[in-house]
Amino acid sequence: MARLDPRVFLAAALLAALLACSDQPQTESSVAADAAMPAAGRAQAGSAHATAAAEEAKAVAQVQQPGVAADQLASSANTATGPQRRFVRTADASFQVQDVYASTLAIEDAVAAEGGFVVRNSISTQTIRQLERPLGDFKRLQLSEVVTQGSLVVRVPGERTQSFLRVIARQMQFLDTRNFEANDVQFELLRRQLAFARAQELQQAIRSAAAQPARTGEKIDALAAREQMLAIRDEATVAQRELEDRIAFSTLRLELHEPSQVRENTVPDTAALLRDRGPGFFAEMGEALGTGWRALLAATVFATRLWPLGIGLAVIAWVIGRLRRARRSGYNEAVSRRTADPGG
């Protein structure tokens, strides 16, 4: 067995020691550099990173996402109050929802929760366009683009209008239009109250006049006038109650629509079915000959109905022919006479 040289082991040990020394200063220098970085610098780097993240979040937020914030349905018209003012509040809103039927039911539940009621609920589906193509086997593929729309008219207590709108904002994906109105009707209400008071006073006066002794005709006139005043009083009462109801309950008209959808149906191909089950060539030829023969008979019958006209035309043609022959005969006689007597 060959003996290894000790000098080889010594050289390998020296090389390993040199490599270890070269790695240690580099590691120590990196650690020292990290320790030498001031705390303020690290804080500044963290602040810059946070600012960049905030800018990115702001840019993402600017992209319109489905959903409507409750503040988009807020307005001072829904909360306007005053010690001497009476407001009739109305609102109109048009918006897109995910499902018209589900949103309609949710809005009705919200109306009931606010102490209101539904005046109208109407839902319809309209076909925007329709395309078809044959599938074979006497069938056609029918694709229809449809959109479902809903219309709601609800009444909610005036002081609960704003909270109700905030609740139904959860059903909205996109808000198309909104319109709020608060009409001050204090003077209209005062006018109705004064009209009612006048009707009451006139009724009392007519009642007193009817109670006085008078002739029968005058009493009848007084009773008729009293009946008319009672009708005026009742009408004034109803008008006043209607105005008070409009003040107490806001009227909201809501128009809903959902994204258009495509419906796929398989329908019979009537044209292909008719072509396949239609008559053959000889059957069509026989039908054509029969149609032509019937047309000829009809023409003959029609011509037969015009026999007086035919006779009249024949007589006219015969007279014209006789006149032409007579004229031609006279002309020939004149020519012959001139030829026979050239000196004349």
Q: Residue 150's domain spans which residues?
A: 70-186+257-265
Do 178 and 312 belong together in one domain?
no
Compute the Cα dihedral for 148, 153, 158, 160 and give only its sign: negative
Same domain, residue pair 76 and 170: yes
Same domain, 85 and 215: no
Joined together, the tokens standing for residue 38 give 């001031």
What 3-state class would DSSP assign to 250?
strand
Q: Are residues 143 and 261 in the same domain?
A: yes
Between residues 186 and 56, the one the model is more confident about: 186
Percent of the chain residues past pLDDT 90, beyond the cut: 28
- Per-residue confidence at 247, pLDDT binned at 50, 70, 90? confident
Q: DSSP secondary structure string, 79-101?
A: T---TT--EEEEEEEEEE-S-HH
Average predicted confidence (pLDDT) for the chain? 77
193 lies in some domain: yes
**pLDDT on residue 195:** 77
Same domain, 83 and 163: yes
Token digits for 265? Answer: 């149906």
Residue pair 91/250 in contact (Cβ under 8 Å)? The answer is yes
What confidence tens digit (pLDDT) does each residue in 7-30 have? 555 556 666 655 555 544 444 444
Residues 160 and 286 in one domain: no
Looking at the structure, tell me whether residues 261 and 129 fall in a common domain.
yes
Domain membership flag for residue 234: yes
Position with higher pLDDT, 107 vs 55: 107
Query: Is-contact 252 91, C-beta < 8 A?
Result: yes
- Considering the domain architecture, whether residues 239 and 311 belong to the same structural domain is answered as no
Lowest mean pLDDT among 105-114, 202-211, 329-338: 202-211
pTM of the complete model: 0.54
Check whether residue 96 and residue 177 sit in a common domain: yes
Q: Are strands 139-157 and 261-268 parallel, antiparallel or unpaired?
A: antiparallel
Residue 28 resides in a domain: no
**252 pLDDT above the threshold of 80:** yes
Give 116-153 as a DSSP string.
Answer: -EEEEEEEEEEEEEEEEEEEETTEEEEEEEEEEEEEEE
pLDDT at 1: 42
Together in a domain, 182 and 207: no
- Looking at the fold, whether 98 and 158 belong to one and the same domain comes out as yes
Assigned domain for 109 exists: yes
Residue 44, domain member (yes or no):
no
Length of the chain: 344
What per-residue confidence (pLDDT) applies to 343? 56
DSSP bridge pairs for 256:
95, 150
Q: CB–CB of 187/86 below 8 Å? A: no
Per residue in 145-167, pLDDT tens? 999 999 999 999 988 998 999 99
Confidence of residue 168 (pLDDT cuts 50, 70, 90): very high
pLDDT at residue 254 above 90? yes
- Res. 2: pLDDT tops 50: no
Asked if residues 207 and 200 have their Cβ atoms less than 8 Å apart, the reply is no
For residue 120, CA distances in Å to 57, 104, 154, 209, 218 come to 43, 11, 7, 48, 51
The strand pairing partners of 156, in sequence order, are: 250
Are 114 and 261 contained in the same domain?
yes
Structural domains of the chain, count:
3
In this structure, the dihedral spanned by the alpha carbons of residues 194, 200, 205 and 209, taken in order and rounded to 10 degrees, is 150
Looking at the DSSP assignment, which residues form a beta bridge with residue 76? none
Task: Decide which of 209 and 155 is more confident.
Answer: 155
Distance between CA atoms of 140 and 131, rounded to whole angstroms?
A: 10
